[in-house]
Structure 1
Amino acid sequence: MTDRYPTVAETTESARRLLAQFPGAGRLRRIGTSRGGRPLRMLSVGHGPRHVLVVARPHPDEPVGSATALALAEQVARGDGPSAATDPAAVTWDFVLCLDPDGAALSEGIEAATAGPDRTLERYYRAAFRPVAAEQPEWAPIEGRQLPESRALFDVIDELRPFLQCSLHNVDAGGSWVQLTRGLPGLAGPFQASADDVGIPVQHGTFDALYWENPSPGIHVLPPPDSAARLAAGSENIGLSTWCAPARYGGVTAIVEVPLWATDMAGDPAPHPAAGHVLRDLSALVREGGRQVTAVLDKARGFLPPLEDSAPRRVLEWMAGGLYDLVADSWTPLARQAADRSRPLTTAEVCPLDVVARRQPLRAAGLLLRLLEAADDPAAPALHDELAGLFTTWCTDFAHALRLRPVPVTHQVEHQRRTVVAAAESALATAG
């Protein structure tokens, strides 16, 4: 495997080659059609009565999942390893090769931009596209939307009744962690061992699961519906998401995150010496970065594509409409906690907030730069140059402030593959 993520087309072709290499090992079928008319394909390997469902590329700016799905599919097809969970006679593994092909088309070039050891934040954020929450297939049902991609995944879950669903994600910077809809007692040890083996830090604390239960480092479990903390996590309606659908059949979902860039701060459990001060600075950072991007957007609105025709424009307006303030305001309880000397925040807990504060304006700036490059208006070049200067400075500051180092794609895939197998073994042992 080369140090590069596969494109959607390359993933499909690799799946076909795998089936040709192992005749009778499985099948490739179409499970639905995207909003843009693109096929949603699922590769199934094995013939066992129980099912593991693996969802690759639910977010188009997180391309690792397709590579991991192919590695897992080959492992099952070859019959590698003594694990009962990967025995093709006992368990069928079903791989949704790309849940959001329309978004992936808008992230075209991200695979080349992140290839090899010389990848940079600038190249990544200029290529990456992440849709608004209501257009993300896993999350859209929470926002009251029923996308065809979401419906296809719900239908597959109802058909297969998987004892485990694994959603494969990248985080742009930080460490690795797992979110679970139910505890898996056998996962923590193999997860930690795998991360140590490939040199990826375990994320001790994460913005994505601030108020989830945290039974062991890097493992976060969704709190019960009556938990008072769920409202603060913004997850009061998370039961509507595709993540929670397997629970209808006794199944569990694992969301497995691996970083494109790692920072050792993600795994530092020492108390942060000035967490309250830093949180105030980070709140100001995300607000000011958002204000600067929005100021350029305000000048460009007259010649940008209309909202109904441009998913990137919808993202920019969504972010400008209050997302920066929402992110900054969400840290107010943490700032109070930091002031409480009985429970100081650790460096690891502050680290993901630092990442979020820096990446929010960068995601918007990268999209706006692309729209300005494509714009046929005499004002566009000057606005592009104005924003490009900020963008470069923010990327440089991001890399230096968190001492980021690129994680080889091969290491990301290997750690994610091992974690998924460990989750399957644990879920199978507790499935009854």
Structure 2
Amino acid sequence: MADAFPSLAGVTASAAALARDLPGLCELRVIGRSRERRPLHVLSAGRGRRNVLVVAAPHADERVGPATALRLAELVVSNPELHAGADTTWHFLLCLDPDGTVRNEAGPAVRRTPAAHYRHAYRPPADEQPEWAPSVRPADDQLPESRALVDFIDQRQPFLVCSLHGNDIGGSWVQLTRDVPGLADPLAKLSAEHGVPVQTGTWDAMFWRPSGPGVYVLPEPDAPEGVAGARFDSSPEDVRRGTWVRPHRYGGMTALFEVPMWAGHRVADTAPHPDPRRALDGLARMLRGQGDRARVLLAEARAVLPPTPDTAHLLGVAQQLTAVCPRVAADWERLHLAPLPLAAAHLAALDIAARRITMRALGTLLRLLDTPGGSAQTQVREVCERQLARWAAEVQELHDPVWVPVDAQAELQAQTVLAVFDRLTGDG
């Protein structure tokens, strides 16, 4: 089997085959359409009274989710204890953002280098990400994908929603909107079996309460100022207004599962950082410098590209990425004042997060600069390629990333989902 991410068409075809072969157990339906009119497919398995919803590809550049959803479906249908024995119906939303996912399929599906990944990655801004958009956009201007997800949650009232995410370089971790005691143990065991570190420092859950190594729980509403929102000032998203807390209306919860494309073991170093303020100041300077360089290249690209709607859209994406750099840098300069001890893992995770912002910006520009153009466009493309290669080489040197095979990513994520399910249903 190729070490490759499956295409959206391939995942849908496999799900259709399951529904065809097991008509009494599985059903494939369309619950909505994307902005570009692509179908949102849900594969349901089981006939139980309780519901679990698995959401794949909430972020378009995190491609493991559809593979994991398919693997989970295979595990569920092969084990009656997971559906009939647990009185549960599983629903697999095969891809929440098909439009963005298809854009990412233009890049290599097989094992690649970080430079190749960022060169082809497409990451829409928060207000175009269906899982985050409800917390950013006005209530009367929601994405059709967001509406389909929220409507499905309201109709099925799942006791567990599983959001399948993937990070580029780092480790495995889980974010929970309600605690699941004891989850850290199976997470550690499963991660070790696949050669993946448990990430004990992460930008995403910096202010979330740890329930154990690699397990983070949404802070209570009365948490200290700066923590209750569970986010940095530079992040427009608000967890409490997004889709993650929607199941709480019905007594349910959401769990987010992260697995890396490349294992980076520095994110598991729990030793206290010897001088976090100096390290944070250095990261802020680096990010501002890279952001300034990316803005120069953005201006050069804008000057040589023809004006088309897609060009304007992608230039806007790149501009948002470069514009956020100084705001993120300011957040990190203040982070040493936060009421949490900073370990080496935190600084490693922040370093990765900083560097990927500008590499995503250059990848977005290169997507445009790869289109036919004159000599001036070719020259700008070559400059962007060299800059991206240098930044990717720095990440390689600092974090020594080790590729995690796609089937291992999917298996680790699927088994971690089952570990949460087992604990919520009393079998853990």
Fold agreement, TM-score > 0.5:
yes
Query: Is 1:256 the equivalent of 2:253?
Result: no
Contact 2:48–2:83 under 8 Å retained in 1: no
Contact 1:58–1:168 under 8 Å retained in 2: yes
TM-score w.r.t. length of structure 1: 0.92
Correspondence for 2:129 among 129, 133, 136: 136
Paired residue for 1:32? Answer: 32
Query: Is 1:155 the equivalent of 2:151?
Result: yes
What amino acid is the match of 1:198?
H
Contact 1:45–1:88 under 8 Å retained in 2: no
* 2:254 counterpart SS class: strand
Q: Does 389-398 or 305-314 show the bigger shift?
A: 305-314
Task: Give the distance between the partners of 1:307 and 1:324, measured in 2 at CA.
Answer: 26
Summarize the alignment of residues 121-132 of structure 1 with structure 2, pairs less than 5 Å apart: 121-132=114-125
What amino acid is the match of 1:315?
V
Summarize the alignment of residues 330-349 of structure 1 with structure 2, pairs less than 5 Å apart: 330-336=331-337, 345-349=342-346
Q: Give how far 1:357 is off.
A: 1.2
What amino acid is the match of 2:122?
F
Paired residue for 2:279? Answer: 278
What amino acid is the match of 1:276?
R
Paired residue for 1:4? Answer: 4
Write out the 4+ residue segments of structure 1 that deviate beyond 3 Å after TM superposition. Answer: 84-89, 234-237, 302-311
Paired residue for 2:293? Answer: 292
Task: Give the distance between the partners of 1:429 and 1:232, measured in 2 at CA.
Answer: 29
Q: Give how far 1:166 is off.
A: 0.3
State, as a whole percentage, how many aligned pairs show the same letter: 44
Deviations 1:267-293 (A, max 9, x none): 111122343322222111111111111
Deviations 1:140-161 (A, max 9, x none): 0111241000000001101110
Q: Give how far 1:314 is off.
A: 2.2
Contact 2:305–2:377 under 8 Å retained in 1: no
Task: Give the distance between the partners of 1:207 and 1:276, measured in 2 at CA.
Answer: 16
Task: Give the distance between the partners of 1:386 and 1:17, measured in 2 at CA.
Answer: 46
Q: Does 182-191 or 69-78 show the bigger shift?
A: 182-191
Task: Give the distance between the partners of 2:183 and 2:230, measured in 1 at CA.
Answer: 27
Paired residue for 2:91? Answer: 94
Paired residue for 2:381? Answer: 384
Q: How many residues align?
A: 418
Deviations 1:405-424 (A, max 9, x none): 11111211111011101111
Paired residue for 1:54? Answer: 54
Contact 1:280–1:335 under 8 Å retained in 2: no
Contact 1:19–1:26 under 8 Å retained in 2: yes
* 1:209 counterpart SS class: coil
Q: Does 279-288 or 154-163 show the bigger shift?
A: 279-288
Shift in alpha-carbon separation, 1:183–1:232, aligned structure 2, 3 A: closer
Contact 1:2–1:410 under 8 Å retained in 2: no
Task: Give the distance between the partners of 2:343 and 2:281, measured in 1 at CA.
Answer: 16
Contact 1:372–1:381 under 8 Å retained in 2: yes
Contact 1:303–1:375 under 8 Å retained in 2: no
Correspondence for 2:349 among 347, 352, 356: 352
Q: Give how far 1:375 is off.
A: 5.2
Contact 1:86–1:421 under 8 Å retained in 2: no
Contact 2:56–2:94 under 8 Å retained in 1: yes
Shift in alpha-carbon separation, 1:114–1:327, aligned structure 2, 3 A: farther
Summarize the alignment of residues 12-31 of structure 1 with structure 2, pairs less than 5 Å apart: 12-31=12-31
Paired residue for 1:164? Answer: 160
Task: Give the distance between the partners of 2:22 and 2:185, measured in 1 at CA.
Answer: 33
* 2:245 counterpart SS class: helix
RMSD: 2.0
Task: Give the distance between the partners of 2:341 and 2:151, measured in 1 at CA.
Answer: 45
Q: Give how far 1:89 is off.
A: 6.4
Paired residue for 2:180? Answer: 184
Paired residue for 1:198? Answer: 194
Contact 2:175–2:217 under 8 Å retained in 1: yes
What amino acid is the match of 2:157?
R
Deviations 1:42-72 (A, max 9, x none): 0001111111100001111001011111111
Shift in alpha-carbon separation, 1:93–1:385, aligned structure 2, 3 A: same
What amino acid is the match of 1:230?
A
* 2:166 counterpart SS class: strand
Shift in alpha-carbon separation, 1:407–1:392, aligned structure 2, 3 A: same
Task: Give the distance between the partners of 2:159 and 2:377, measured in 1 at CA.
Answer: 52
**Structure with the larger helix share:** 1
Deviations 1:11-46 (A, max 9, x none): 000101222333422100000000001111100011
Paired residue for 1:367? Answer: 364
What amino acid is the match of 1:316?
A
Shift in alpha-carbon separation, 1:193–1:232, aligned structure 2, 3 A: closer
Q: Give how far 1:230 is off.
A: 2.5
Contact 2:158–2:252 under 8 Å retained in 1: yes
What amino acid is the match of 1:42?
V
Task: Give the distance between the partners of 2:96 and 2:260, measured in 1 at CA.
Answer: 20
Deviations 1:329-361 (A, max 9, x none): 111232346xx9xx7521111111010111111
What amino acid is the match of 2:314?
P
* 2:348 counterpart SS class: helix
What amino acid is the match of 2:136?
E
Shift in alpha-carbon separation, 1:246–1:177, aligned structure 2, 3 A: same
Task: Give the distance between the partners of 2:327 and 2:246, measured in 1 at CA.
Answer: 28
- Unmatched tracts of structure 1, length 5 or more: none
TM-score w.r.t. length of structure 2: 0.93
Q: Give how far 1:307 is off.
A: 7.9
Paired residue for 2:321? Answer: 319
Task: Give the distance between the partners of 2:386 and 2:249, measured in 1 at CA.
Answer: 50
Task: Give the distance between the partners of 1:243 and 1:292, measured in 2 at CA.
Answer: 35
Contact 2:76–2:82 under 8 Å retained in 1: no
Shift in alpha-carbon separation, 1:319–1:88, aligned structure 2, 3 A: same
Shift in alpha-carbon separation, 1:392–1:237, aligned structure 2, 3 A: closer
- Unmatched tracts of structure 2, length 5 or more: none
Correspondence for 2:396 among 391, 399, 412: 399
